[in-house]
Amino acid sequence: MLRLLLTLVALNAVLLGLEVPRYAGLAPYWLAWEAVLLVGLFALLPAGRLARGLAWLAGGVLLVLVVLALFEALTRASLTRPLNVIQDWVLLDAVYQLVTGNLGTPATVLLGIVLVAGLIAVIWGASRGLYALSSGSAGARPVPLSLAVGLLGLGLVGTATGVRDMAPAGTDAPAAGMVQQQIAAGQAAIAENQDFRARLEKSRKQAGAQPLPGLSGVDVILGLVESYGVSAVFDARYAPVIVPSLESIGEELDAAGLHVVTGVLEAPIAGGQSWLAHASLLSGLQVRYAGHYDALQAEPRDTLVQDFQATGHHTAMLAPAIQLDWPEGRWFGWDRIVDKHAFDYAGPPFFWVTMPDQYTWSFFEREVRAASEDPIFAMLALVSSHAPWTPILPVLEDWDGIGDGAIFDQWADQGPAPETLWRDFDRVREYYAESVRYSLEVTGAYAARFADEETLFVMLGDHPSAALITGLDTSWAVPVHVISGDPQLLEPFRARGFVPGMQPPSEQAEHGFDALRGWLRDAFGGAPGKD
């Protein structure tokens, strides 16, 4: 009986642990019916090859469920949504790159060893505990038949009713519920993928390149601030840092003779996968999953890049975080892609952040914009406000002194190391706010110094931050600040609800990132602009 109770308690604890990601803590249950079912089943089985094989099978299934729960926790924490195995399995490499970028390869390998050891302990312990219940096994006393049958019956009934949400209060069937959840998510994924492909095909003709004569001769620059969502502005934890910064940027722009209007757009993702945000802005389709991204790039297709090329612009993508071969970026047909290796940066990396945003803007102005004889259409994927958010750099007033970035050496060892900072989540949130402030102020300072009447400058977030920062069920909208020395260039945005100044008008967005291409075409695809 003691062996039975210990096995039941251990299995119950592991199975209830599967619900931790869903509830962001302990589940409001005290009993997992599958634990009762398994204990009852193995108490009825005679010891032997069948019982041993089934014990290892049960341990293997439990191992798979624990791994799914770990990925569920990671997905909810990083992407602010539940795991969908069909959509998300392709992200394993991205997860590895992110972890190694923040913790380094040795720490990542050590973490992997610890996780594997823990998972092996789960399957081994479950298998041994269950097999020990089988009648006649070494050192075990047979469990009374009536008790074994009763436990098996209770487990079957409880699991079945738990799946249908009819189990008694305080009980659940978490394993069966997890399987049911992934089946439903898989069916939804298949439907979503079919719908995306249908929209791809339906919009194929409209996707052809269209000149934008209303922007002829105008530099159009998209600066995407990493992890900058409306929660950074409206959340009481971050507003005291971000709102004064926005007000200061607005004053700086006004002093430079520039105008600014602000609105919100809903990002296709939250927490990560910035490339989906880029694809949504450029393609005019809301690209939410990696599979949709692959489907988009399965055939040649025109985007905003080709629209601006047809208008006479030189097009450039600056992606300081890209360190490997990037065929996906080449698919867009940029005239120039500047990845980490194409910058002449001589300063230090700051953990995952390969170079600070102020250097990225400095290089862009010096080596891309000023060097082009044609007007520029550029997208800059800024990275200073990417986790781990340490150290926080100052904004340098002397842009001419930035040069090759060696000036940033003095901050190489400043600030806490990620492994120290991330022991205190409240402190992590403080550093998040400061890193967003830095990126906003650098970007605003660039606009104030280098934008003019022949510039349409768009500063926006690429997506909200992860659930650790925003909390669960928060808006996926991001602020969009549109800046120019020519107020007429801002009128199309005013007509779509954008308001004067740097403060977003709302936490909720009526339109997604996919709207921007259509807006530019509608507003600037007709009347010719400046020569």
Task: Supply the pLDDT for residue 62.
Answer: 85
Domain 216-524 belongs in CATH node 3.40.720.10: yes
> Looking at the predicted structure, is the pLDDT value of residue 166 above 60?
yes
SS3 assignment for 159-214: HHHHHCCCCCCCEECHHHHHHHHHHHHHHHHHHHHHHHHHHHHHCCCCCCCCCCHH
Q: What is the pTM of this model?
A: 0.80
Structural tokens at position 497:
């609800």
Strand duo 259-266 + 219-225: pairing: unpaired
- Which whole number is the average pLDDT over 110-127? 74
Q: Report the interhelical angle of 239-255 vs 425-450 (nearest 10°).
A: 10
Task: Supply the pLDDT for residue 151.
Answer: 53
Structural tokens at position 417:
């190391």
- Which whole number is the average pLDDT over 504-519? 93
Mean pLDDT (the chain, rounded): 84
Helix (H) or strand (E) holding 53: helix 49-79
Q: Please work out, in degrees rounded to the nearest 5, the angle formed at the alpha carbon of residue 526 by the alpha carbons of 318 and 481.
A: 40
| Buried-state track 419-449, b at ≥16 Cβ within 10 A, e below 16 | eebbeeeeebbbbbbbbbbbbbbbbbbbbbe
pLDDT digits (tens, 9 = 90+) for 340-354: 999 999 999 888 789
Q: What is the DSSP letter of 350?
A: B
Range scoring the smallest mean pLDDT among 153-157, 314-318, 507-511 = 153-157
Structural tokens at position 258:
């520039």
Q: What are the C-alpha distances in Å from 411 to residues 101, 326, 359?
A: 19, 30, 14
Share of the chain above pLDDT 70, in %: 85
- Which whole number is the average pLDDT over 487-498? 95
Q: Where are the domains of the chain?
A: 2-190, 216-524
Round to whole Å and give the CA distance between 209 and 183.
Answer: 40
Cβ neighbors of 119 (< 8 A, separation 6 or more) are 63, 66, 67
Task: Supply the pLDDT for residue 225.
Answer: 96
Query: Do residues 290 and 273 touch, judged by C-beta distance below 8 A?
Result: yes
Round to whole Å and give the CA distance between 400 and 402.
Answer: 6
